[in-house]
Chain A
Amino acid sequence: MATLTYRDALNHALREEMQRDPNVFLMGEEVGVYQGAYKVSRGLLDEFGPMRVVDTPITELGFAGVGVGAAMVGLRPVIEFMTWNFALLAVDQLVNSAAKMRYMSNGQVGVPAVFRGPGGSALQLASQHSQAFESWYAHIPGLKVVMPATPADAKGLLKSAIRDDNPVIFIEGEMLYNIKGEVPEGEHVVPLGRADIKRQGSDVTIICHSKSVGVSLKAAEQLANEDVDAEVLDLRTIRPMDTEAVLNSVAKTHRCVVVEEGWPFAGVGAQVVDTIQREVFDELDAPVLRVTGADVPMPYNKQLEKAAKSDPAKVVSAVNQVLYRD
């Protein structure tokens, strides 16, 4: 085991996959000479050269489309969006081109590309730079959506994403790049579509992903002091969702809270709740509650921003409600 930051774990995954497969290349704004806006691609230009670590103009739609086109003819591009906020300009390419190509062509042409970059709320970046879009992409058949919460998962999931023959939306936590964690040495691959129990518990299941995993684990610690034994389930892959893991956990604990950074309306949690009520209705002892970001654009002011974000206290409160502890 080595202790790595989330950022370096991603860097290692990119380096190893580029070493392994000459068809893998990295393209995006500031990935080369600048070494990456968040330094995820540090050192890669030197190692692999400008044909495989490609700096682009600020033209998200354009280079996302270039990535899709290159993938259509067999390369395995990793397209970096400096943040997912900017990827809004490329949504047509992600939705209309990447996601649908295999289906429209009746299986003749696939898009084995990874689109990655930081997402979620940050610190005082205001409305246009602090938002979570995973539910948008998870809505689209043809896309996979992956969101690691730990350095080990970041490395293992990125390697799987690069090897996957489908377009993968890989959303990193903007606030997670500096967190440290143990990462297995050598070949470490985490399969897509498998959730991970980050904490075992028996009283309530807290379902979360990305930055919300840390929030949920903190909440679980507080709850443990109050003799509530919470299970924390990290989805890791939003789509395809590991419904089996979700259902097994809820069937065990009978109570569930879903935590996410995004807005409440039609969020990831809405899909989780739908699955739970449909599949294990008779296991539920309380309605499933959701902890989400506030239903507003992100404000700049620090206090308002705090109020807009999900945090451990909100999770604890929701858990108390589903446990009928008032």
Chain B
Amino acid sequence: MPTNVVMEALSPTMEEGRLVEWKKQEGDAVAVGDVLAEVETDKAVMELVARAAGTLLKHIVEAGATVPVSEPVAVIGSPGDDTGEGGKRGGGEAGAGQRGSGASGEKDRGAAGQRDSKESQGTQPSPGQSRPVSMPPAPPAGAATEHRPSPESPSGSKDNGVKSDSPAPARDQQAEPRVKASPLARRIAAERGVNLVGITGSGPEGRVVARDLEGVAAKAQSSTAPPPSRPAAQPYTDVPLSQIRKTIARRLAQSIGPVPTFYLTTEVDMERIWEARQAQLALSGAKGAVGKLESGEGGRDVSVSFNDITIKAVALALRQHPACNAWWQDDRIRYWNEVHVSMAVAIEEGLITPVIRHADQKTLREIAAESRDLAGRARERRLKPEEYTGGTFSVSNLGMLDIDEFTAIINPPEAAILAVGRIGQKAVGHEDAVVLRRRMRLTMSCDHRVIDGATGAQFLKTLKGMLENPLTLVW
């Protein structure tokens, strides 16, 4: 039986996609997982893969067409199938789902109807009563609403490009097993973003209770807490907005656009970093130049750029200032316990922000390698959605373009972005003399709903201290 291939949502915000190129032609044999086409989303060029095996019977759209998400683009089936009917949604599986539940629902309804008829005369006969007892109950209309496939279920069209006409086992519709948990445990888990599925419950019959989450969940860390050596078990802590925080948010947003931004600028002395980098470059044998990335791939000879150093310093500073490592979530602020630094990369069509995950826990060399890979693939528009979403703080660097300093636009829901200017020699007072020193200007844009002036300033101060004392980056 033929099944439709539909335009899938290949990025979180994608509403339509442009079919760039068909990789399988009409008549080609197709296995599950085969790349059928390349699709350009709002963020990247992605692959549309087959969810069913068979023969690609028909391209419904031609290359170059723009197709809304979940609309059909092709048909897979056996040769000879009528492709005209391929688009019909699988009614069989929904029917199967309804049938079983409908029967049990009908049983209750019928019993209730009989009770009613005994107690009060003159009421309308219930559906259960009006039917002969021997007749198998038909699914009541109302039951269908309870078993409508959810968007997350395999039969939901958004997640699955291919619709199967064969009845899916009902069990498959329940994606996750029901976890027994106390109401308090559920609340805590929801607040901390913990998935209860993986938690072993210590209560009766494995009920997850509050104490089972004690090891898993920790409160937002204070600014002086040392960074954990491993990723935190729960990645963030949601803190519902206090009234004062709500008022600040509302009033500041009224004052300046939807994101009430303010800017903090500081100047960092880069002499010691400069020296350190020169030394590192000498060690690795690479010929580094200011603000320029080497193209050496992999291994130990990856050169570390100033941008990499800045990202690392930012990540470590965020560890000490979780108040700046946060998302604005409208009714709450999500304080992340993990540090994922977005780095702005200019590409031909504009801008994308690939993310260095757990940047605080990576070595400079790892960050250098990763940033190079991400930037390269960004320019080729080959990033996967998960590689350019989920950042907790952004860094934008225009130093290589000789910009002294600038203000960057915050990338919501992140609460701040750091704009990095060029490193240039400047006459400054140093140890009672006016000398030339390499300096770099940092400007932090802060969402005032999340970060207050002093909060941002303290973060910048820490960051400046780290950059001026490079040892802190390796210790």
The answer to A–B direct touch (Cβ < 8 A) is yes
Is there a chain B Cβ closer than 8 Å to A295's Cβ?
A: no
Cβ B183 vs Cβ A283 within 8 A = yes
Centre residue among B203, B210, B211 by max chain A CB count within 10 A: B210
Q: Mark A252-291, 1 if CB is under 8 A from B, else 0.
A: 0010000000000000000000000000011111100000
Q: Mark B187-211, 1 if CB is under 8 A from A, else 0.
A: 1000000000000001110000111
Interface size for B (C-beta < 8 A) is 12
What residues on B are CB-neighbors of A284 within 8 Å? 182-184
Cβ B203 vs Cβ A286 within 8 A = yes
Q: Given the complex of chains A and B, what is the CA–CA distance between A106 and B204 in angstroms?
A: 52
Q: Given the complex of chains A and B, what is the CA–CA distance between A286 and B212 in angstroms?
A: 13
Cβ A324 vs Cβ B211 within 8 A = yes
Cβ B209 vs Cβ A282 within 8 A = no
Cβ A282 vs Cβ B186 within 8 A = yes
Within 8 A of A (CB), among B166-189: 182-187
Q: Given the complex of chains A and B, what is the CA–CA distance between A116 and B184 in angstroms?
A: 41
What residues on A are CB-neighbors of B185 within 8 Å? 285
Cβ A285 vs Cβ B186 within 8 A = no
What residues on B are CB-neighbors of A282 within 8 Å? 183-184, 186-187
Residue in A closest to B201 when the chains form the complex, CB atoms: A324
What residues on B are CB-neighbors of A285 within 8 Å? 182-185, 209-210
Q: Mark A283-316, 1 if CB is under 8 A from B, else 0.
A: 1111000000000000000000000000000000
Smallest distance from the beta carbon of A22 to chain B beta carbons, Å? Answer: 52
Residue in A closest to B210 when the chains form the complex, CB atoms: A285
Cβ B184 vs Cβ A324 within 8 A = no
Smallest distance from the beta carbon of B238 to chain A beta carbons, Å? Answer: 14
Q: Given the complex of chains A and B, what is the CA–CA distance between A75 and B145 in angstroms?
A: 62
Interface size range of chain A in the complex: under 10
Q: Given the complex of chains A and B, what is the CA–CA distance between A135 and B203 in angstroms?
A: 32
What residues on B are CB-neighbors of A254 within 8 Å? 184, 210
Cβ B184 vs Cβ A283 within 8 A = yes
Smallest distance from the beta carbon of B365 to chain A beta carbons, Å? Answer: 46
What residues on B are CB-neighbors of A283 within 8 Å? 183-184, 187
Q: Given the complex of chains A and B, what is the CA–CA distance between A254 and B209 in angstroms?
A: 11
What residues on A are CB-neighbors of B204 within 8 Å? 324
Cβ B202 vs Cβ A324 within 8 A = yes
Smallest distance from the beta carbon of A255 to chain B beta carbons, Å? Answer: 9
Q: Given the complex of chains A and B, what is the CA–CA distance between A68 and B211 in angstroms?
A: 54
Q: Given the complex of chains A and B, what is the CA–CA distance between A20 and B172 in angstroms?
A: 76
What residues on B are CB-neighbors of A286 within 8 Å? 182, 203, 209
Q: Given the complex of chains A and B, what is the CA–CA distance between A282 and B210 in angstroms?
A: 11
Q: Given the complex of chains A and B, what is the CA–CA distance between A282 and B190 in angstroms?
A: 11
Residue in B closest to A277 when the chains form the complex, CB atoms: B183
Smallest distance from the beta carbon of A202 to chain B beta carbons, Å? Answer: 13
Q: Given the complex of chains A and B, what is the CA–CA distance between A285 and B210 in angstroms?
A: 6
Contact of A281 with B183 at beta-carbon distance under 8 Å, contacts A254-B210, A324-B211 already known:
yes
Cβ B203 vs Cβ A324 within 8 A = yes
Q: Given the complex of chains A and B, what is the CA–CA distance between A285 and B182 in angstroms?
A: 5
Q: Given the complex of chains A and B, what is the CA–CA distance between A305 and B340 in angstroms?
A: 66
Smallest distance from the beta carbon of A38 to chain B beta carbons, Å? Answer: 45
Q: Given the complex of chains A and B, what is the CA–CA distance between A254 and B186 in angstroms?
A: 13
Q: Given the complex of chains A and B, what is the CA–CA distance between A248 and B204 in angstroms?
A: 26
Residue in A closest to B184 when the chains form the complex, CB atoms: A285
Centre residue among B184, B186, B203 by max chain A CB count within 10 A: B184
What residues on A are CB-neighbors of B203 within 8 Å? 286, 324
Residue in B closest to A286 when the chains form the complex, CB atoms: B182
- Which residues of A does B touch, CB under 8 Å? 254, 281-286, 324
- Which residues of B does A touch, CB under 8 Å? 182-187, 202-204, 209-211
Given contacts A282-B186, A286-B182, A324-B203, 7 further A-B pairs with CB under 8 A are A282-B183, A283-B183, A285-B185, A285-B210, A286-B203, A324-B202, A324-B211
Which 7 residue pairs spanning A and B have beta carbons closest together?
A: A285-B184, A282-B187, A285-B182, A285-B210, A282-B183, A284-B183, A281-B183
Chosen A-B contacts, 20 in total, with CB atoms closer than 8 Å, are: A254-B184, A254-B210, A282-B183, A282-B184, A282-B186, A283-B187, A284-B182, A284-B183, A284-B184, A285-B182, A285-B184, A285-B185, A285-B209, A285-B210, A286-B182, A286-B203, A324-B202, A324-B204, A324-B209, A324-B211
